[in-house]
Amino acid sequence: MIGGLFIYNHKGEVLISRVYRDDIGRNAVDAFRVNVIHARQQVRSPVTNIARTSFFHVKRSNIWLAAVTKQNVNAAMVFEFLYKMCDVMTAYFGKISEENIKNNFVLIYELLDEILDFGYPQNSETGALKTFITQTGIKSQSKEEQSQITSQVTGQIGWRREGIKYRRNELFLDVLESVNLLMSPQGQVLSAHVSGRVVMKSYLSGMPECKFGMNDKIVIDKQGKGGGNGCQSIAIDDCTFHQCVRLSKFDAERSISFIPPDGECELMRYRTTKDIILPFRVIPLVREVGRTKLEVKVVIKSNFKPSLLAQKIEVRIPTPLNTSGVQVICMKGKAKYKASENAIVWKIKRMAGMKESQISAEIELLPTNDKKKWARPPISMNFEVPFAPSGLKVRYLKVFEPKLNYSDHDVIKWVRYIGRSGIYETRC
Amino acid sequence: MEWANQLCENRQFGSKMTDSKYFTTTKKGEIFELKAELNSDKKEKKKEAVKKVIASMTVGKDVSALFPDVVNCMQTDNLELKKLVYLYLMNYAKSQPDMAIMAVNTFVKDCEDANPLIRALAVRTMGCIRVDKITEYLCEPLRKCLKDEDPYVRKTAAVCVAKLHDINAQLVEDQGFLDTLKDLISDSNPMVVANAVAALSEIAESHPNSNLLDLNPQSINKLLTALNECTEWGQIFILDCLANYTPRDDRESQSICERVTPRLSHANSAVVLSAVKVLMKFMEMLPKDLDYYSTLLKKLAPPLVTLLSAEPELQYVALRNINLIVQKRPEILKHEMKVFFVKYNDPIYVKLEKLDIMIRLASQANIAQVLAELKEYATEVDVDFVRKAVRAIGRCAIKVEQSAERCVSTLLDLIQTKVNYVVQEAIVVIKDIFRKYPNKYESVIATLCENLDSLDEPEARAAMIWIVGEYAERIDNADELLESFLEGFHDESTQVQLQLLTAIVKLFLKKPTETQELVQQVLSLATQDSDNPDLRDRGYIYWRLLSTDPVAAKEVVLAEKPLISEETDLIEPTLLEELICHIGTLASVYHKPPSAFVEGSRGVMHKRLPARTGSGESTESPDVGTAAGGSAPEAAPSIIPSQGDLLGDLLNLDMAPPTTSGPPPPTTGMQMGGMDLLGGGLDSLMGDESEPLGGDIGGSPAMGAGFGAAPAVMPASLNAPVGGGLGDLFDLGGVGMPMGAYIPPKIVWLPAMKAKGLEISGTFARRAGVIQMELILTNKAMSVMTDFAIQFNRNSFGLAPAGPLQVLTPLGPNQTIEVSLPLSTVGPVMKMDPLNNLQVAVKNNIDVFYFSCQYPISMLFVEDGKMERQVFLATWKDIPNDNESQFQIKDCHLNSDAASSKLQGSNIFTIAKRTVEGQDMLYMSIKLSNGIWVLAELRVQAGNSNYTISLKCRAPEVSQCVFQCYEAVLKN
């Protein structure tokens, strides 16, 4: 299991050091600093073995978090734990930065004591932790309160406490998708997939039993009718759920039922690869005119309903390292050559569906005697569209709370779809 | 919607705190000031002071002097302060054991507190205080907490048992905590169950033979129920524990699989990977024609692909595991090639792993796409990645015949770029392509020769030389080219030297008239001016071959080479099986068995996949123990020994063609006992520890399969006659529980008189396959001793320290420290007299001291020393009778079975037993760490306490030592 946990700043000074196992000595702290943080080369692996001690690290801005062990631990678990630890810290004090960590070191030690016991991760749901790790001094809890805390921390529904009350029962569903594309210069789709998340923010009283439904092909086909109501179904390659969802029920009936944590949670993640709506198509044309000049023309076409508007469109056209000057002409938006990033960045605020726009640039090159050819990195794109590129639709989210007297109809529900670009690249 | 609202609130919350000021106090006399503050009456001031102490502790300052003052703050009702004091205690209690006792009372009291949070806090902290004197006081509070009414306290107490076990295992057993822990598996609270499982699994790991985790269908059922209800972490503990279970039959296996599959949709990747581990393991037991089997295969692919959208670090772990899964069951991901395409922004470690998997998945169906991708990658920036991409193109050519032509032309394009490392890499792979498709692409040789001058890496130079030698008849100026290499012969690496030698001999055989001088020159360089034994040996072989019978030389050196197979760098099958049992863990990330990187007894236990059995049949449980695992080598029919051979071929064949077509000269020694003691030792050294020598050419066939200290490696000749071996292996399982290896009592090696006050006594032991020198260092001088180091003189079996002498703290006057030093057998070899003599030098800050000691040769007996029956018979006959020696062991009162099981503990394996006229004859085999086999016949007559033993060995020198071991083992 995890033998120790260290947090360093970018200089390699240790900010937090908590040792759980006897086989980890103080020298481990230095070993990681010398061999990883101060290493000359770029880090080649997130797992490093130094003198039979294994170090797992993740980096958040310029803070290093390292877990140390001498045993054959579950590596996936260690990384999941480190991410979780970052989530918990963010939930408590915001951004993970040197200043915040120094400001909250007592709190961090208290958290580390609670969520990692002898190197075994324990309940790390922020909702539960916030009930008893507060840092606002001791609250004299009554006996009932105390046992409520402990039963929540260890209980079957560790993510929600009893007795939550809201005057207005309300819930928000966000379907957030990122669409990824790799396209060849000729316009052939090399790979494309959507990874989506359903984020739920709920303000519901009591212990509400929820059931979520979407246009999952398997479910629609099972119901048999399909098609008649005009609802297109989609094939989901794979999905994973928040720990509140009853997985055995999903496995057996493919129904998604759960008691949600209070506030925000990521209910589900999914991935689709079939019938993806690619919101934009990029058509590049790069011509080398002699050894000192490049001509680049890029056309982008939007491919969705004309009534919808895409936002925050950004096209990034890489330029060679020996670029000396760039002239750009674009029909829409603004384009600029950014020498520090070696790219032409073209920004368009809004663009409706079924439109087309174009940019052309002349790139002057300094002559070099470098034999190696320019690697021609792909042209990448960023955007945001108000629909789900996978075609996913929320069909229902039913709420039942048998003990309190509000029904499904009394709950106010909001649904929103946002499609963003993930890694959206076209080779040129 | 205001999603950011909460975030802002938290920021404000954070900025209110200004704990960072504690990090900045670096005044002199600080400790003094802190002392005053700690003893202040004001609660706030006290708390502030403790915070400062903790901050100093974090940055590595020694604040142990404040121990009594901090402990005084422990008695408080302020929970925050209490936690801080506990944190301090955990860090410093060990250095102040006497003072730590002051804290005991508070712990005992806190364990009775009305607030369950305080009870749990006390029991949690207690276990982290590693002071022997205290541990005993903590048993009673712990016992109470294990039965506490509050689940939060119980789950904390469960982990505390594991902590206590780590400090004092005997105490935990004596106090009966293990039974209480077992009861907790049936607890009503899922989190208590999960922690109990975690604690038990850990304790069981250090007792490989105990039946601690008594997994049976009932307890499995309980675990599966808890699985649905506990936290994500708890699910991981339970799944990892389930993976150690072996179901009785395929029906049970299927029902467990059915209940585990829902976990594949968990958001936590570690839960998913642990579930995959259970499924991959239990799937082995399912009949392949079962519908469920194929359903399960289909279900595994999507979650594995989903893991690739996790954060990069987890992607890396997932990819390393997928690499194993693809080798074990290629069918699972065969249609998912596209998801392994490299993204421009992937971190380099993800890129390299993806590339590896792409090649494994390449097939005729997707080769066009793969090649297009690889070509793209070959123009990237990162050198390692580009190299690997180039190599991958070559591997595609070898794997998919239809694509070979396109691959070759792609490689030629890349050579035209003249980028140095691309060219070198391309030449290395083109050589492999020549091996696979002889007489097809030789037209490119001209292009390759143009780049001769730019090659500066040994591997590329060796490859190019091989090509020149192999196709000497088609290259007009082959002799000039090779001659140019010869000029700097002694500056070349061994790899290149060996290759050059072979290439010139080939050239000579092809064009004898013009090259006589050249061959003379290289032979004299290799045999007279080189101190590399491999090179010399090969030189002599060629020389004799050429001088005695040139026709035979031609037949041997220019013989037709066997084709190379398509898959390279596959993980050796037994290791792969073991790694599959470790999916998700570090072992699967390193692709090494846990014993390769975990110290001590933990993780040395080898896991194996279960065998396929129908209902009703019983299976051997994979976790029966080390000795059984080691002594029954690979009964599973799925392991094909010939594959190991192929692998070996691949790695050295293509670099050394002539040595493989005939019987390879440098390898004959290792198979059975060795021609002489040292020769045998050297050869098997190379076989067993191939890693450092991996690039060399003169290795043995086992080299390719070798993997560090992987015990699974067997010499190829042993695997060959597997025929009836299966039955033999199983009936021997009944010999009895193996006992531990014999360890002689410690004796004084270096008296204090002779070493300025340093006394060293010690012994040797072999624990779980690792040879250890166990030392007790005592300082009988007045001053402190530091800077210990140890070194061995050359010795008969190449014993050498595998690591530095771990004496971390200075050794004060009258202090004693016990150290155990792992030894390796890869050191320099020199025959000693007596054979088992070891000369040791120990250094400390005062001086260097020398002493010599003798080790029992039994610690060199390796775990895979069990010979096949047929091999034993053949070998016994084969060894000349002159090499047989007979001994008498007097006054031994064991019967033959007891003797045999006792001997097995020291890796002396009974192969067969025969009873003739009331006399039991036991036939035994022993393998030494340097590959020498010793065969023995032990005669035991009922009612006679004198045993007769005959030893046969190709190196009769060892017999005397081996006999001494028999005597020592049997009489202890």
What pLDDT, on a 0 to 100 scale, did the predictor assign at position B553? 87
- Tell whether A347 is in a known binding site: yes
A16-51 per-position pLDDT tens digit: 999 999 888 888 989 999 989 988 877 789 999 988
Cβ distance of A195 and B268 shorter than 8 Å = no
CB contact at 8 A, B91 and B55:
no
Cβ distance of A147 and B115 shorter than 8 Å = no
**Chain center to CA of B268:** 28
Say whether residue B267 is in contact with chain A using an 8 A CB cutoff: yes
Say whether residue B127 is in contact with chain A using an 8 A CB cutoff: yes
Give residue A81's pLDDT band: very low, low, confident or very high (50, 70, 90).
very high
**Of residues B536 and B102, more confidently modeled:** B536
Upper half-sphere CA count for residue B929 (Cβ side, 13 Å): 22
Task: Report helix, strand or coil for B890.
Answer: coil
- Asked if residue A141 has pLDDT above 70, the reply is no
A49-64 per-position pLDDT tens digit: 988 899 999 999 899 9
B649-698 per-position pLDDT tens digit: 333 333 333 333 333 333 333 333 333 333 333 333 333 433 333 333 33
What pLDDT, on a 0 to 100 scale, did the predictor assign at position B155? 93
- Tell whether A143 is in a known binding site: no
What pLDDT, on a 0 to 100 scale, did the predictor assign at position A225? 56
Give residue A297's pLDDT band: very low, low, confident or very high (50, 70, 90).
very high
What is the Cα–Cα distance from A349 to A363, expressed in whole angstroms?
25
Instruction: Name chain A contacts of B379, Cβ cutoff 8 Å.
Output: 373, 375-376
What pLDDT, on a 0 to 100 scale, did the predictor assign at position B356? 92
Mean of pLDDT values over A56-78: 94
User: In percent, how much of chain A has pLDDT > 70?
Assistant: 95
Mean of pLDDT values over A94-112: 91
In this structure, of A149-153, A222-226, A406-410, B241-245, the range with the lowest mean pLDDT score is A222-226
- Asked if residue B624 has pLDDT above 60, the reply is no
Out of B261, B303, B590, the one facing A251 most closely (by C-beta) is B261
What pLDDT, on a 0 to 100 scale, did the predictor assign at position B376? 86
Out of A21, A70, A135, the one facing B598 most closely (by C-beta) is A70
CB contact at 8 A, B303 and B331:
no
Out of B115, B266, B585, the one facing A240 most closely (by C-beta) is B266
What is the Cα–Cα distance from A241 to A247, expressed in whole angstroms?
8
- Asked if residue B300 has pLDDT above 90, the reply is yes
Q: What angle do CA B30, B31, B35 make, to 5 degrees?
A: 115
What is the Cα–Cα distance from A315 to A346, expressed in whole angstroms?
5
Q: Which of residues 347-366 of B touch A (CB under 8 A)?
A: 348-349
What pLDDT, on a 0 to 100 scale, did the predictor assign at position B81? 83
Instruction: Name chain A contacts of B295, Cβ cutoff 8 Å.
Output: none
- Asked if residue A117 has pLDDT above 80, the reply is yes
What pLDDT, on a 0 to 100 scale, did the predictor assign at position B733? 35
Q: Which has the closest alpha carbon to B188: B161, B151, B162, B224?
A: B151
Instruction: Name chain A contacts of B808, Cβ cutoff 8 Å.
Output: 25
In this structure, of A370-379, A410-419, B404-413, the range with the lowest mean pLDDT score is A370-379
Instruction: Name chain A contacts of B160, Cβ cutoff 8 Å.
Output: 118
Cβ distance of B60 and A237 shorter than 8 Å = no
Arithmetic mean of pLDDT over chain B: 79
Say whether residue B833 is in contact with chain A using an 8 A CB cutoff: no
Residue A74: closest C-alpha in chain B: B585
- Asked if residue B27 has pLDDT above 60, the reply is no
What is the Cα–Cα distance from B933 to A3, expressed in whole angstroms?
42
What is the Cα–Cα distance from B203 to B169, expressed in whole angstroms?
9
What pLDDT, on a 0 to 100 scale, did the predictor assign at position B208? 66
Q: State the sign of the Cα–Cα–Cα–Cα dihedral B324, B329, B330, B332.
A: negative
In this structure, of B74-88, B197-211, B596-610, the range with the lowest mean pLDDT score is B596-610
Place of tokens 């960590």: A101
In this structure, of B411-415, B474-478, B583-587, the range with the lowest mean pLDDT score is B474-478
Q: Which has the closest alpha carbon to B157: B207, B101, B107, B205?
A: B107
What is the Cα–Cα distance from B312 to B183, expressed in whole angstroms?
40
- Edge-to-edge strands of the sheet including B837-843? B789-792, B837-843, B848-854
Q: What angle do CA A343, A347, A351 make, to 5 degrees?
A: 145
Instruction: Name chain A contacts of B386, Cβ cutoff 8 Å.
Output: none
Q: Which of residues 851-910 of B touch A (CB under 8 A)?
A: none
Cβ distance of B163 and A138 shorter than 8 Å = no
What is the Cα–Cα distance from B514 to B497, expressed in whole angstroms?
21
Burial class (CB in 10 A: 0-12, 13-18, 19+), B3: exposed
**Of residues A184 and B730, more confidently modeled:** A184
- Per the confidence metrics, is the pTM higher than 0.90? no
In this structure, of A134-138, A191-195, A275-279, B301-305, the range with the lowest mean pLDDT score is A134-138
Out of A49, A103, A154, the one facing B192 most closely (by C-beta) is A154
Q: Which has the closest alpha carbon to A195: A177, A218, A217?
A: A177
Task: Report helix, strand or coil for A309.
Answer: strand
Out of B267, B311, B603, the one facing A71 most closely (by C-beta) is B603
Compute how many other C-beta atoms are within 10 angstroms of the C-beta atom of residue B490: 9
CA torsion angle B349 B351 B352 B355 (round to 10): 160
How far does A3 lie from chain B, in Å, by closest CA? 12
Q: Which has the closest alpha carbon to B790: B860, B848, B747, B859?
A: B848
B562-608 per-position pLDDT tens digit: 777 766 678 888 899 999 999 999 999 999 999 888 876 554 567 77
What pLDDT, on a 0 to 100 scale, did the predictor assign at position B743? 79
Arithmetic mean of pLDDT over chain A: 88
Instruction: Name chain A contacts of B156, Cβ cutoff 8 Å.
Output: 117
- Asked if residue A350 has pLDDT above 90, the reply is yes
Beta partners for residue A241, in sequence order: A268, B266
How far does A129 lie from chain B, in Å, by closest CA? 12
CB contact at 8 A, B857 and B961:
yes
In this structure, of A418-422, B500-504, B734-738, B942-946, the range with the lowest mean pLDDT score is B734-738
Cβ distance of A120 and B345 shorter than 8 Å = no
In this structure, of A280-289, A354-363, B143-152, B780-789, the range with the lowest mean pLDDT score is B780-789
Amino acid at B76: T
What pLDDT, on a 0 to 100 scale, did the predictor assign at position B557? 87
What pLDDT, on a 0 to 100 scale, did the predictor assign at position B755? 81
Instruction: Name chain A contacts of B14, Cβ cutoff 8 Å.
Output: 92-94, 100, 103-104
What pLDDT, on a 0 to 100 scale, did the predictor assign at position B7? 33
- Bond into A46 cis (ω within 30): no
Amino acid at B399: K
Cβ distance of A146 and B59 shorter than 8 Å = no
Cβ distance of A247 and B55 shorter than 8 Å = no
Give residue B158's pLDDT band: very low, low, confident or very high (50, 70, 90).
very high
3-state secondary structure B77-111: CCHHHHHHHHHHHHHHHHHCHHHHHHHHHHHHHHC
- Asked if residue A314 has pLDDT above 80, the reply is yes
Cβ distance of B22 and A23 shorter than 8 Å = no
Q: Which of residues 186-205 of B touch A (CB under 8 A)?
A: 189-192, 195, 198, 202
What pLDDT, on a 0 to 100 scale, did the predictor assign at position B605? 63
Compute how many other C-beta atoms are within 10 angstroms of the C-beta atom of residue B57: 18
- Asked if residue A125 has pLDDT above 80, the reply is yes
- Asked if residue B193 has pLDDT above 90, the reply is yes
- Tell whether A372 is in a known binding site: no
Mean of pLDDT values over A319-345: 91
Place of tokens 């294994």: A54
Compute how many other C-beta atoms are within 10 angstroms of the C-beta atom of residue B676: 14
- Tell whether A371 is in a known binding site: no
What is the Cα–Cα distance from B648 to B664, expressed in whole angstroms?
13
Task: Report helix, strand or coil for A69.
Answer: strand
In this structure, of B519-528, B541-550, B841-850, the range with the lowest mean pLDDT score is B841-850
B855-871 per-position pLDDT tens digit: 888 888 888 888 887 77
B249-298 per-position pLDDT tens digit: 888 999 999 999 999 999 999 999 999 999 999 998 898 888 999 999 99
Burial class (CB in 10 A: 0-12, 13-18, 19+), B601: middle
Cβ distance of B419 and A372 shorter than 8 Å = yes
In this structure, of A105-109, B175-179, B762-766, B879-883, the range with the lowest mean pLDDT score is B879-883
- Asked if residue B756 has pLDDT above 90, the reply is no
What pLDDT, on a 0 to 100 scale, did the predictor assign at position B940? 82
Instruction: Name chain B contacts of A190, Cβ cutoff 8 Å.
Output: 338, 341, 369, 373
Mean of pLDDT values over B10-29: 52
How far does A80 lie from chain B, in Å, by closest CA? 7
Cβ distance of B267 and A378 shorter than 8 Å = no
What pLDDT, on a 0 to 100 scale, did the predictor assign at position B162? 93
Cβ distance of B419 and A371 shorter than 8 Å = yes
Instruction: Name chain B contacts of A21, Cβ cutoff 8 Å.
Output: 166
How far does B861 lie from chain A, in Å, by closest CA? 25
Mean of pLDDT values over B529-554: 88
Cβ distance of B233 and A182 shorter than 8 Å = no
Strand A170-183 and strand A412-426: the pairing is: parallel
How far does B52 lie from chain A, in Å, by closest CA? 10
B130-141 per-position pLDDT tens digit: 888 888 888 999
Strand A343-352 and strand A309-318: the pairing is: antiparallel
Mean of pLDDT values over A103-122: 91
What pLDDT, on a 0 to 100 scale, did the predictor assign at position B691? 38
Instruction: Name chain B contacts of A121, Cβ cutoff 8 Å.
Output: 233
What is the Cα–Cα distance from B302 to A270, expressed in whole angstroms?
10
- Tell whether A336 is in a known binding site: yes
In this structure, of A413-422, B28-37, B587-596, B798-807, the range with the lowest mean pLDDT score is B28-37
A–B: how many Cβ contacts below 8 A? 314
What pLDDT, on a 0 to 100 scale, did the predictor assign at position B881? 78
Residue ranges in B210-311 assigned as alpha helix (H): 217-227, 232-242, 250-260, 269-283, 291-306
B693-717 per-position pLDDT tens digit: 333 333 333 333 333 333 333 333 3
Compute how many other C-beta atoms are within 10 angstroms of the C-beta atom of residue A156: 14
Residue A17: closest C-alpha in chain B: B58
What is the Cα–Cα distance from B705 to B688, expressed in whole angstroms?
9
What pLDDT, on a 0 to 100 scale, did the predictor assign at position A403? 85
Concatenating the DSSP letter of every residue in B751-804 gives -GGGGTTEEEEEEEEEETTEEEEEEEEEE-SSS-B---EEEE--BTT--EESS-
Residue B155: closest C-alpha in chain A: A154
- Asked if residue A106 has pLDDT above 90, the reply is no
Encoded tokens for A277? 């709506």
What pLDDT, on a 0 to 100 scale, did the predictor assign at position A210? 93
Residue B594: closest C-alpha in chain A: A72
Beta partners for residue B655, in sequence order: none
B486-522 per-position pLDDT tens digit: 888 888 888 999 999 999 999 998 888 888 888 888 9
What pLDDT, on a 0 to 100 scale, did the predictor assign at position B598? 86
How far does A353 lie from chain B, in Å, by closest CA? 25
Give residue B163's pLDDT band: very low, low, confident or very high (50, 70, 90).
very high
Say whether residue B782 is in contact with chain A using an 8 A CB cutoff: no
B770-798 per-position pLDDT tens digit: 888 888 888 888 778 888 888 888 888 88
What is the Cα–Cα distance from A64 to A87, expressed in whole angstroms?
15
The DSSP letter of residue A344 is E
Concatenating the DSSP letter of every residue in B32-88 gives HHHHHHHT-S-HHHHHHHHHHHHHHHHTT---GGGHHHHHHTTS-S-HHHHHHHHHH
